[in-house]
Chains A and B, each alone.
Chain A
Amino acid sequence: MSIKLTDEMLSMLPDTRGHFGDYGGRFVSETLFDSLETLEREYLRLKKDPQFQAQFDKDLADYVGRPSPLYFAERLTKVVGGAQIWLKREDLNHTGAHKINNTIGQALLANFLGKKRVIAETGAGQHGVATATVCARLGLECHVFMGAEDVKRQSLNVFRMKLLGAQVHAVTSGTRTLKDAMNDAMRDWVTNVDDTFYIIGTVAGPHPYPLLVRDFQAVIGRETREQSLHQAGKLPDALVACVGGGSNAIGMFYPFLTDESVQLYGVEAGGLGIETGQHAAPLSAGRPGVLHGNRTYLMEDENGQISGTHSVSAGLDYPGVGPEHSWLKDIGRANYVSVTDEEALDGFRKLTRIEGIMPALETAHAVAYAMKLAAGMGPDEVVVINVSGRGDKDIHTVAQMDGIEL
């Protein structure tokens, strides 16, 4: 059951303790509390500081290359034969994904707080690369934690990070993927909390991270809103974005939350199929719990142990999701759906062959769902896909699935 959201309601969220309804919060061990309170206080101050915002906007324009284009995918639209399909081209950002919007913002924060050492977790390596990039630019020491499994399947990004001067720590505990990388980043942070800034890559983690990452990514939706009105002559009828932790999706959705006519679709990784249990779709098939500092939908067993996840895409291979998405699901404002590995690969191939745009495998999930959605809509309707990243990093994975040795 959907409720009508107003700007006033949104201005109250998260509340002063970082809650979006039942979700979010600050579930961390005591040592980190002080740092999180300082970060929250400083961020809320800088958010209103015109100088900070001007610097952020300038970096987004001159360094990232914003605004990113909104592109009408004419041939894909014809092939699908339904609604107009438009692409928000975050893949054209510097470093090839939306992740840089957030790392630019958090690195500015680190600078304002006088922290010289930066840590980050990464799944596919896009956030790790984006963090290593801003650290190189600002001369900050950079440590990236990455699951040993992901180090293997994303070797290109690992080398990119090293070229940028970052130290990459392969994490061998647990399932050796993104969740374990986040555990180790938290462990590093608690040990080096005095001089270290933790740049979290998604809208999860303890308050204020879900808030500040969303604010830095909301530029995606703000631009899309303006571009759609100008280029398509109307607001989009539907927005489609992939959801792992959910940063590109919340960045796209947030500026449209009060526009009731705009349908929001978050696409989770269905892996081998929801019914197999081999997936990474907590909103579609999980339940609320507490992990990594926040309450949110999780994939867990009946005893509250976090489940291993599966997705062809390392960036979506995470058992949790940002708390604001959990809230949007419960109030019915956004729809959360899933597509399988196979469907995502089909989306990857179609966008590549029909539009000459090779999306990241994460993004390919959104492409796959948007094609299904658009097919059932009319030619006057507008569907915008957030093309969160480019696919170069995934070429090895795609080749391997085709049985090709590169």
Chain B
Amino acid sequence: MSRIEGVLKSLKGQGRKALIPFITAGDPSPDQTVDLLHTLVEAGADIIELGVPFSDPMADGPVIQAACERALVHGTSLRQVLGMVRTFRETNTTTPIVLMGYLNPMEAMGTAVFADLAAESGVDGVLTVDLPPEEADEVAPLLTARNLDAIFLLAPTTSDERIRAISQHSSGYVYYVSFKGVTGASNINVEEVAGKVRHIHELTALPVAVGFGIRDAGTAAAVGRVSDGVIVGSVLVNTIAQHQTDPAQLKRALTDLLHPMREALDGLSS
């Protein structure tokens, strides 16, 4: 059983929902990332999605795009990101880390080399935004062979046939993109999401985590009610942007954001 599967199973056993924060590695600077990962765990994270910065993040809105630019100013490379995970693992062996990014940096490293290094560094899953299963026949088996979960996206526009096919290629969980748009937009319609996630649950046994548009305890609880986990990204990244010059203040601000979400999610099970 992978670390991701283990965490999600255990949460399910307790009737709890996963809180999955996202930050971009190297933002605001590479030497702060490992510290921030620990902060996220202390604030209640069950799994962390760690963004690999890319120069052209087409699926992301201005907030995460700016985070990529901040990280790239410091030259944050995929190799460095893997080093950050390795350092994090020296003191945390329980919180799964999912790398989320675009295909080109992985291809530039060499997909087999990447898969080897990711597994060695203690990465648990890989979500490549611009790699649909149709194009993943080279990468996905490399991940699976190293016990890394290949996580794919589902969208409001995904047909039933594709939901089934994508779920078959996925392990760990599937990531449901809650609306048509880029990260950081705010057009989430909770009722629509609820209907669609219920439908996805009928088509796959995999846990469903929902991302895009979750920004506070209210949206987290509403989405958590129908899914297995919620992914929180832009609102955290925005906080990083606001407090980039004051690390202590930044940690407090991230904690203040995540705490109410954690409580709201745990409130669902009682």
Is this pair of chains taken from one and the same complex? yes
Residues of A within 8 A of B152 (CB): 30
Residues of B within 8 A of A290 (CB): 102-104, 107, 130
Residue-wise, chain B 144-168 has the 8 Å CB interface mask toward A (1 for contact) of: 0000000011111111001000100
Chain A interface secondary structure, helix, strand, loop or mixed?
Answer: mixed
B104 x A33 contact (CB < 8 A) = no
Say yes or no: A191-B182 contact (C-beta < 8 A), given A27-B135, A31-B156, A173-B65. yes
Residue-wise, chain B 183-197 has the 8 Å CB interface mask toward A (1 for contact) of: 001000000000000
Interface range for A:
35 or more
Interface centre among B72, B104, B134, B152 (most CB of A within 10 A): B104
27 contacts between A and B (CB under 8 A): A26-B135, A27-B103, A27-B130, A27-B131, A29-B130, A30-B152, A30-B153, A31-B59, A31-B153, A31-B180, A33-B162, A35-B157, A174-B55, A183-B56, A183-B58, A187-B58, A190-B59, A190-B182, A289-B104, A290-B102, A290-B103, A290-B104, A290-B130, A292-B58, A304-B106, A304-B109, A305-B104
Residue-wise, chain A 15-48 has the 8 Å CB interface mask toward B (1 for contact) of: 0010000000111111111110000000000000
A304 to nearest B CB, angstroms?
3
Chain B 123-142 interface residues, beta-carbon cutoff 8 Å to A: 129-132, 134-135
Q: How far is the CA of A156 from the CA of B158 in the complex (A)?
A: 42
Q: How far is the CA of A194 from the CA of B155 in the complex (A)?
A: 13
Besides A289-B104, A298-B104, A303-B79, 20 other A-B contacts (C-beta < 8 A): A27-B132, A29-B155, A30-B155, A30-B166, A31-B156, A33-B132, A33-B157, A33-B158, A180-B56, A183-B57, A187-B59, A290-B130, A291-B56, A291-B104, A304-B78, A304-B107, A305-B54, A305-B55, A305-B104, A305-B105
A306 x B153 contact (CB < 8 A) = no
B108 x A302 contact (CB < 8 A) = yes
The 9 closest A-B pairs by CB, nearest first: A304-B108, A304-B105, A31-B155, A30-B153, A34-B157, A29-B59, A303-B77, A191-B181, A30-B155
Task: Say yes or no: is B37 at the interface (Cβ < 8 Å to chain A).
Answer: no
Q: Can you name the residue of chain A whose Cβ is closest to the Cβ of B54?
A: A305
B-to-A contact residues, CB < 8 Å: 54-59, 61-62, 65, 69, 72, 75, 77-79, 102-109, 129-132, 134-135, 152-159, 162, 166, 177, 180-182, 185
Say yes or no: A305-B72 contact (C-beta < 8 A), given A26-B134, A34-B157, A174-B55. yes
Residue-wise, chain A 187-216 has the 8 Å CB interface mask toward B (1 for contact) of: 100111110000000000000000000000
B77 x A30 contact (CB < 8 A) = no
A-to-B contact residues, CB < 8 Å: 17, 25-35, 173-174, 179-180, 183, 186-187, 190-194, 289-293, 298, 300, 302-306
Partner of A173, one of B62, B72, B108: B62
B54 x A190 contact (CB < 8 A) = no
Residues of B within 8 A of A193 (CB): 157, 180
A187 x B103 contact (CB < 8 A) = no
A186 x B181 contact (CB < 8 A) = no
Residues of A within 8 A of B134 (CB): 17, 25-26
A29 x B180 contact (CB < 8 A) = no
Q: How far is the CA of A32 from the CA of B181 in the complex (A)?
A: 10
B50 to nearest A CB, angstroms?
16
A186 x B58 contact (CB < 8 A) = yes
B151 to nearest A CB, angstroms?
12
B251 to nearest A CB, angstroms?
28
A54 to nearest B CB, angstroms?
33
Interface centre among A192, A293, A303 (most CB of B within 10 A): A303
Say yes or no: A26-B132 contact (C-beta < 8 A), given A290-B107, A291-B104, A305-B72. yes
